[in-house]
């Protein structure tokens, strides 16, 4: 039990003084200004902030999808910064899962085939017990033979969640996973994400600008203008909304 | 991963179909060529095995001048009749016969025209009675000197029947005979291998076909009981002391068949050449299709990368797709090739006068060639797009990244380098600095030039396409179409480049042949000072000839100043095979052909003297007074003394012999006659008189100078048409490419097209927009092709200046036709994609992801 607590305390992903600058000269945009953050294992963390604050950029840098201009990023024991293409490929294959706003399923494959795609790319077989657990949690058992076009948006996103979970990655990054869903489907997906953290110890980092969505997380990190400006533990929709409102006031941003 | 690849492949099967079609066509040519040559080869084997079925041992003289199949029929020296008795004396020899059989017996059909044959010989022989092979169908064998029998194939072709009087041309001018019988062959066949046969009595055959009495072409024997053909051959050979060629019937069949197969391999190479062109164009097409597909799958491939696929796996998935396309296309191409090979073999058999075809065979080479070529081309063409696919960043899965316009610098530099390499190779090849590899160097140069120009096309496309597009920019759809065609320069460029290859080849070939044609006619116009010319189209490999008596009779016509008959033969001159000519009147060299002496006297020629062209004299290091041994097709070798040398630029014959020598030529009759009239004499008055003299020489006719020159150059026109038809295939493939690119672009722009329709673009306008895009691309391709083709053609023409091609003729009419054709091609190619674009569901398109 002590060991588990010790592991829990360790960060699944960490950003250390990360700067990200796009372009140069006139067109230069500083998307991240020295962000340092830790995302603990087995927790559900939300990254909140107004549009253009650098949420997606931070997530891309954490996941090794984009390079950082300065600073370092680690996932588990792996230092992401400075990895070459094959290192990054291995990282994505073994340690990271993604959930996208646009679902991003392959239209030609069935739900089942989409779910096991990361494993078949890696040349691995799914663990049958875990696969069953995932399918039952997302409630897709009777839809496995369907193609994405035959599924509703909510169902498609659940397939995408199952795809991220089935490989048991160190950390799952989700960028606005409910952005394209109605509120009911959104709630289903969020509940399901929270359950996978609570019941199976999955680590999830979710980017969102929706306070209701952020309220499902264990912790919320607030980003404004490329910097971390605030943090909430055990948030509710109201506390998140309050914090957001304060951030929207220019005086507060200056802090 | 494998499953994901295959499934996405299936989803795109229609898009891949068109590009696969290009491979199918190329592979079809490759395998068709192999199937054709294999089938015909085995048919020839069967024919000759049959023709020599009742010959165990054959004795013939060694030929005096060795000729290859392409140079004409070899004239074997006859053997003395006494040889028959010497062979009879050999123990074991049975059924010994003296055989007369020589090509050149031309029957005049019931319509007054000579029966022609292209390929199989027209044999004149002595009648040896019926046997295992030969069976009389009607009448009897010839008994009197004016009686003949013919084989059933010839009787049908000439439309003659037993009892008819028929004329036959041989070494002698036309002679009349009574047809007393018609024969066929075992198995009810009308001919063996399509040959036409006329059989005379032995003395007549000896005189007409071999030129003297008491000689035979060869002597055949059968092996008697207790001996084998091989044993008998060795026995006969020993008895005759090595002075003769002694072979078994089997050996004879093999070597006869091998000679024809050599001719076939040439045909094979031509077919493979067209396959190469089709495949080159196909490569562009596949490259483009895969590039577009990769671009359209950016998001999907990025997703694969994001969820852990390595770059190599992405390459693998694209290449696997190519392998699948290549495999299917090769299989379909092979099947089509077998069909085409069978069809061509059938047509060839018909054309060759009913060659009995051996069963259709699919040689291993056809299968290996089909799959090898099909797979390699497809995979190589897909490699570049595959590498590009591997460079898609995984982050592209999350963003709607508009793929930035990659700069064209690298492609342009690469294109310039490749074009330069092509130009250097062409220069080396054309200037004759490439030694034995001249042809390979030139072809390599053309290939590099094409690829180089194709790489340069994106850069060229920007200004040219916007200029071309300006023509259509008067309407909104036109403007949109023009912008669309300029929007992806690489895609436009490759599509246009595919069309360029076909059109450049046709233009280049046309420039070369038109220039050659014009040079030949201007040379003829400048040099030939004869008002009338007697000549004819050949009936087979041997040139048409006429009775020498016509020359003297023509000379007697009032108003005729000079008549010259020209003879020709392939001879061995000083140990080298050389074309030799003889003029019935040596004075004609100066007066008709304008020859100028550079040394000695060329106005006179004694029976033991010869004239040389200055080139021949120089290259052989000969001068006036030198003696040179000459072996003609017939007779013994003789030594001639050089008495004069003429300028090569005026008269291109390397050697001119005295008229007496013509008796020993393979064709001892004149093949062309030149008639010069007194000043003021009417050509129209003399021509009909000469025509009447030629009544017994149906192979030739008399024409005025202009008509003669026209006849001489008309073959180039046929050649041009044939090449254009074959190269049209490359253009068809390019059209497939345009359709494919447009279809893929329409698919890619579904959303945009829906939007345009939503804001009020009408169906017809949508279709016009797509059509303008297609027309701009195809005119651009044609323009490039015309320019590149003219450049290549002009380079070759310049290089051939020393060979006598002095004029450069640019086929302007032809070029304009191509551009108009390209516009039509564009409109046609746009039909399907345009309909598709017009049918786009407005609502669905805007919701389309
Ligand atoms: N590829 C890029 N090139 C240039 N600027 C970018 C790029 N991606 C993001 N940005 C800029 O960086 C800032 C942060 O963007 P992003 O991380 O997408 O914000 P968020 O996800 O919080 O809405 C924005 O100002 C955006 O314009
Ligand atoms: Mg974002």
Instruction: Look up residue B518 and give its two tokens.
Output: 């014009």
Query: Which pLDDT score is estimated for B157?
Result: 87
Query: Which pLDDT score is estimated for B325?
Result: 87
The answer, for B1 touching chain A at a CB cutoff of 8 Å, is yes
For residue B800, pLDDT beyond 90: no
Q: Measuring from atom 25 of ligand 1, which residue has the nearest CA? A: A52
Query: Which pLDDT score is estimated for B400?
Result: 57
Question: Measured between alpha carbons, how far is A153 from A162 in angstroms, rounded to an integer?
Answer: 14
> Which helix (H) or strand (E) element contains residue B23?
helix B13-51
The answer, for A163 touching chain B at a CB cutoff of 8 Å, is yes
Q: Which of A18, A29, A226 most suits a substitution to test ligand 1, by most atoms within 8 Å of the C-beta?
A: A29
Q: Give tens-digit pLDDT for B63-84.
A: 665 554 444 445 667 888 999 9
Query: Which pLDDT score is estimated for B772?
Result: 85
Categorize the per-residue pLDDT at A5 as very low, low, confident or very high, splitting at 50, 70 and 90.
Answer: very low
CATH architecture observed for domain A11-254: 3-Layer(aba) Sandwich (3.40)
For residue B847, pLDDT beyond 60: no
For residue A8, pLDDT beyond 70: no
Q: Give tens-digit pLDDT for B756-768.
A: 777 777 888 888 8
Query: Which pLDDT score is estimated for B595?
Result: 84
User: What's the CA-to-centroid distance between B510 and ligand 2, angstroms?
Assistant: 61
Span of B264-268, B388-392, B667-671 with lowest mean pLDDT: B264-268
Measured between beta carbons, the chain B residues lying within 8 angstroms of A163 are: 307
User: How far apart are the CA of A97 and the nearest CA of chain B, in angstroms?
Assistant: 7
CB contact (8 A) between residue B394 and residue A97:
no
Query: Which pLDDT score is estimated for B75?
Result: 60
Question: Cβ neighbours of residue B617 under 8 Å, at least 6 residues apart?
Answer: B599, B623, B642, B645
Rg of chain B taking only CA atoms, in angstroms: 34
Number of residues in chain A: 255
Quote the percentage of chain A above a pLDDT of 90: 53
Query: Which pLDDT score is estimated for B65?
Result: 57
The answer, for A114 touching chain B at a CB cutoff of 8 Å, is no
Mean pLDDT of B91-103: 88
Question: Measured between alpha carbons, how far is A45 from A11 in angstroms, rounded to an integer?
Answer: 12
Side-chain-facing half-sphere of B732: CA atoms under 13 Å: 14
Q: Measuring from atom 13 of ligand 1, which residue has the nearest CA? A: A31
Categorize the per-residue pLDDT at A3 as very low, low, confident or very high, splitting at 50, 70 and 90.
Answer: very low
Question: Measured between alpha carbons, how far is B524 from B531 in angstroms, rounded to an integer?
Answer: 12
SS3 state at B137: strand
**Between these two residues, B776 and B349, which has the higher pLDDT value?**
B776
Average confidence score pLDDT of chain A: 87
Q: Give tens-digit pLDDT for A70-103.
A: 999 999 889 999 888 888 888 888 899 989 888 8
The atom of ligand 1 lying closest to the CA of A175 is 21
Mean pLDDT of B120-139: 88
Measured between beta carbons, the chain B residues lying within 8 angstroms of A66 are: 395
Closest CA to B598 of B539, B639, B648, B652: B648
Q: Give tens-digit pLDDT for A93-149.
A: 889 998 988 888 888 888 998 898 888 888 888 899 999 999 988 888 999 999 888
Per-position DSSP letters for chain A, written without gaps between them: -HHHHHHHHSEEEEEEEEEEEES-GGG-EEEEEEEEEEEETT-EEEEE--TTSSHHHHHHHHTTSS--SEEEEEETTEE-TT--HHHHHHHHHHTEEEE-TT----TTS-HHHHHHHHHHHHT-PPPHHHHHHHHHHHT-GGGTT--GGGS-HHHHHHHHHHHHHHT--SEEEEESTTTTS-HHHHHHHHHHHHHHHHHH---EEEE-S-HHHHTTSSEEEEEETTEEEEEEES--HHHHHHHHHHHHSHHHHH-
Side-chain-facing half-sphere of B759: CA atoms under 13 Å: 5
Sequence ranges of the domains in chain A: 11-254
Query: Which pLDDT score is estimated for A6?
Result: 38
For residue B349, pLDDT beyond 80: no
Q: Measuring from atom 27 of ligand 1, which residue has the nearest CA? A: A52
Largest CA distance in chain B: 104
Query: Which pLDDT score is estimated for A37?
Result: 94
Per the listing, tokens 């392409």 go with B70
The answer, for B404 touching chain A at a CB cutoff of 8 Å, is no
For residue B528, pLDDT beyond 90: no
Question: Measured between alpha carbons, how far is A76 from A59 in angstroms, rounded to an integer?
Answer: 15
pTM, rounded to two decimals: 0.74
Q: Give tens-digit pLDDT for B189-230.
A: 888 877 889 999 999 999 998 888 899 988 999 888 888 888
> Which helix (H) or strand (E) element contains residue B674?
strand B672-677
CB contact (8 A) between residue B849 and residue A102:
yes
Question: Measured between alpha carbons, how far is A193 from A184 in angstroms, rounded to an integer?
Answer: 14
Average confidence score pLDDT of chain B: 83
Q: Which of A53, A54, A179 most suits a substitution to test ligand 1, by most atoms within 8 Å of the C-beta?
A: A54
Kindly identify the ligand whose nearest atom is closest to the C-alpha of A101: 2
Question: Phi first, then psi: what are they for A172, rounded to 5°?
Answer: -105, 130
The answer, for B391 touching chain A at a CB cutoff of 8 Å, is no
Q: Which of A108, A122, A175 sits opposite B398 (nearest CB)?
A: A175
Q: Give tens-digit pLDDT for B291-313.
A: 888 887 888 888 888 888 888 88
Strand partners, B675: B532, B563
Query: Which pLDDT score is estimated for A1?
Result: 35
Quick one: how far is CA B146 from the chain centroid? Answer: 42
Kindly identify the ligand whose nearest atom is closest to the C-alpha of B396: 1
Query: Which pLDDT score is estimated for A251?
Result: 44
Quick one: how far is CA A87 from the chain centroid? Answer: 20
Question: Measured between alpha carbons, how far is B777 from B779 in angstroms, rounded to an integer?
Answer: 6
CB contact (8 A) between residue A85 and residue B303:
no
The conformational region for residue B539 under phi > 0 = left, psi -120 to 50 = alpha, else beta, is: beta
Quote the percentage of chain B above a pLDDT of 90: 15
For residue B449, pLDDT beyond 50: yes
Q: Give tens-digit pLDDT for A29-71.
A: 999 999 999 999 999 999 998 888 999 999 989 988 888 999 9
Categorize the per-residue pLDDT at B334 as very low, low, confident or very high, splitting at 50, 70 and 90.
Answer: very high
Q: Are B674 and B592 in contact (CB under 8 A)?
A: yes
The answer, for B303 touching chain A at a CB cutoff of 8 Å, is yes
Instruction: Look up residue B432 and give its two tokens.
Output: 């004759």
Q: Give tens-digit pLDDT for B608-617.
A: 999 998 888 9
The answer, for A210 touching chain B at a CB cutoff of 8 Å, is no
Q: Measuring from atom 24 of ligand 1, which residue has the nearest CA? A: A52
């Amino acid at each position: 039990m002590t060991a588990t607590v010790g592991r829990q305390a360790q960060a699944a992903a960490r950003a250390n003084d990360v700067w990200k600058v796009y372009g140069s000269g006139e067109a230069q945009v500083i998307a991240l200004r020295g962000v340092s953050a830790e995302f603990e294992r087995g927790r559900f963390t939300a990254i909140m902030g107004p549009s253009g604050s650098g949420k997606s950029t931070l997530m891309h840098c954490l996941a090794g999808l984009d390079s950082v201009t300065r600073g370092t990023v680690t996932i588990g024991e792996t230092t992401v910064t400075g990895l070459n293409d094959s290192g990054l490929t291995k990282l994505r294959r073994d340690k990271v899962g993604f959930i996208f706003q646009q679902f991003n399923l392959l239209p030609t494959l069935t739900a089942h085939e989409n779910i096991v795609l990361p494993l078949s790319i890696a040349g691995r077989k799914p663990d049958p017990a875990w696969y069953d657990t995932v399918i039952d949690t997302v409630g897709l058992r009777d839809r496995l033979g369907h193609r994405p076009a035959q599924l509703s948006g909510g169902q498609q996103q659940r397939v995408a969640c199952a795809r991220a979970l089935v490989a048991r990655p160190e950390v799952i990054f989700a960028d606005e996973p409910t952005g394209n869903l109605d509120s009911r489907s959104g709630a289903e997906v969020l509940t399901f994400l929270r359950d996978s953290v609570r019941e199976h110890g999955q680590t999830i980092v979710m980017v969102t600008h929706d306070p209701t969505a952020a309220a499902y997380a264990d912790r919320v990190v607030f980003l404004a203008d490329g910097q971390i400006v605030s943090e909430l533990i055990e948030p509710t929709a109201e506390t998140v909304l309050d914090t957001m409102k304060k951030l929207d006031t220019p005086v507060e941003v200056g802090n | 991963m494998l499953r994901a690849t295959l499934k996405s492949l299936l989803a795109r099967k229609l898009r891949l179909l068109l590009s696969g079609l290009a491979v199918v066509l190329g592979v079809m040519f490759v395998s068709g060529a192999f199937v054709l040559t294999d089938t015909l080869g085995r048919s020839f084997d069967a024919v000759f095995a049959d023709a020599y079925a009742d010959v165990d041992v054959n004795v013939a003289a060694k030929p005096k001048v060795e000729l290859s199949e392409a140079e004409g029929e070899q004239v074997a020296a006859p053997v003395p009749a006494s040889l028959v008795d010497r062979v009879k004396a050999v123990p074991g020899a049975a059924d010994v016969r003296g055989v007369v059989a020589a090509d050149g017996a031309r029957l005049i059909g019931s319509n007054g025209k000579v029966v022609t044959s292209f390929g199989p010989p027209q044999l004149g022989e002595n009648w040896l009675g019926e046997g295992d092979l030969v069976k009389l169908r009607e009448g009897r064998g010839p008994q009197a000197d004016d009686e003949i029998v013919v084989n059933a194939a010839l009787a049908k072709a000439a439309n003659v029947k037993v009892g008819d009087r028929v004329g036959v041309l041989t070494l002698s001018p036309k002679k009349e005979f009574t047809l007393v019988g018609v024969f066929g062959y075992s198995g009810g066949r009308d001919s063996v291998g399509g040959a036409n046969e006329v059989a005379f009595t032995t003395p007549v055959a000896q005189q007409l076909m071999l030129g003297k009495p008491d000689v035979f072409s060869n002597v055949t024997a059968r092996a008697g009981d207790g001996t084998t053909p091989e044993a008998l051959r060795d026995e006969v050979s020993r008895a005759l002391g090595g002075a003769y060629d002694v072979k078994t019937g089997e050996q004879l069949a093999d070597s006869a068949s091998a000679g024809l197969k050599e001719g076939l391999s040439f045909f094979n190479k031509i077919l493979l050449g067209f396959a190469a062109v089709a495949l080159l164009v196909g490569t562009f097409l596949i490259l483009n299709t895969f590039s577009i597909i990769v671009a359209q799958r950016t998001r999907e491939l990025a997703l694969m990368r994001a969820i852990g696929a390595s770059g190599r796996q992405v390459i693998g998935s694209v290449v696997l797709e190519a392998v699948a396309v290549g495999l299917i296309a090769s299989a379909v191409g092979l099947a089509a090739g077998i069909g085409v090979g069978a069809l061509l073999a059938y047509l060839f058999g018909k054309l060759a006068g009913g060659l009995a075809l051996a069963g259709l065979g699919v040689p291993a080479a056809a299968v290996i060639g089909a799959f090898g070529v099909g797979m390699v081309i497809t995979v190589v063409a897909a490699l570049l797009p595959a590498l590009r696919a591997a460079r898609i960043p995984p982050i592209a899965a999350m963003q709607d990244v508009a793929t930035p316009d990659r700069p064209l610098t690298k492609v342009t530099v690469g294109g310039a380098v490749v074009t330069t390499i092509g130009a250097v190779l062409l220069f080396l090849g054309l200037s004759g600095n490439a030694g034995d590899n001249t042809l390979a160097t030139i072809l390599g140069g053309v290939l590099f030039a094409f690829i180089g120009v194709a790489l340069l096309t994106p850069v060229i496309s920007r200004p040219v396409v916007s200029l071309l597009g300006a023509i259509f920019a008067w309407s909104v759809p036109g403007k949109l179409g023009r912008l669309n065609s300029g929007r992806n320069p690489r895609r436009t460029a490759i599509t246009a480049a595919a069309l360029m290859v076909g059109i450049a080849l046709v233009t280049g070939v046309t420039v070369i042949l038109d220039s050659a044609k014009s040079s030949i006619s201007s040379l003829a116009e400048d040099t030939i000072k004869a008002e009338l010319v007697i000549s004819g189209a050949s009936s087979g490999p041997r040139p048409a000839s006429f009775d020498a008596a016509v020359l003297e009779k023509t000379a007697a016509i009032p108003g005729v100043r000079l008549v010259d008959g020209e003879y020709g033969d392939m001879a061995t001159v000083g140990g080298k095979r050389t074309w030799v000519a003889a003029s019935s009147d040596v004075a004609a060299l100066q007066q008709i052909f304008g020859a100028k002496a550079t040394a000695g006297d060329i106005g006179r020629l004694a029976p033991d003297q010869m004239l040389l062209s200055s080139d021949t004299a120089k290259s052989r290091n000969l001068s006036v007074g030198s003696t040179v041994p000459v072996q003609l097709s017939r007779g013994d070798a003789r030594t001639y003394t050089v008495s004069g040398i003429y300028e090569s630029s005026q008269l291109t014959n390397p050697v001119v012999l005295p008229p007496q020598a013509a008796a020993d030529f393979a064709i001892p009759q004149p093949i062309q006659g030149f008639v010069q009239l007194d000043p003021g004499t009417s050509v129209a008055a003399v021509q009909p008189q000469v025509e009447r003299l030629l009544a017994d020489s149906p192979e030739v006719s008399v024409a005025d100078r202009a008509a003669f020159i026209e006849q001489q150059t008309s073959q180039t026109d046929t050649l041009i048409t044939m090449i254009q038809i074959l190269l049209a295939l490359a253009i068809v493939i390019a059209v497939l490419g345009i359709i494919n690119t447009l279809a893929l672009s329409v698919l890619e722009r579904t959303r945009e097209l829906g939007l345009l329709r939503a804001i009020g673009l009408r169906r017809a306008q949508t279709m016009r927009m797509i059509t303008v895009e297609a027309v701009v691309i195809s005119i651009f391709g044609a323009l490039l092709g015309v320019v590149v083709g003219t450049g290549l053609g002009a380079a070759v023409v310049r290089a051939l200046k020393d060979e006598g091609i002095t004029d450069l003729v640019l086929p302007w009419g032809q070029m304009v036709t191509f551009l108009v054709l390209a516009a039509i091609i564009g409109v046609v190619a746009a039909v399907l994609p345009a309909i598709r674009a017009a049918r786009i569901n407005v609502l669905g398109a805007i919701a389309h992801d």
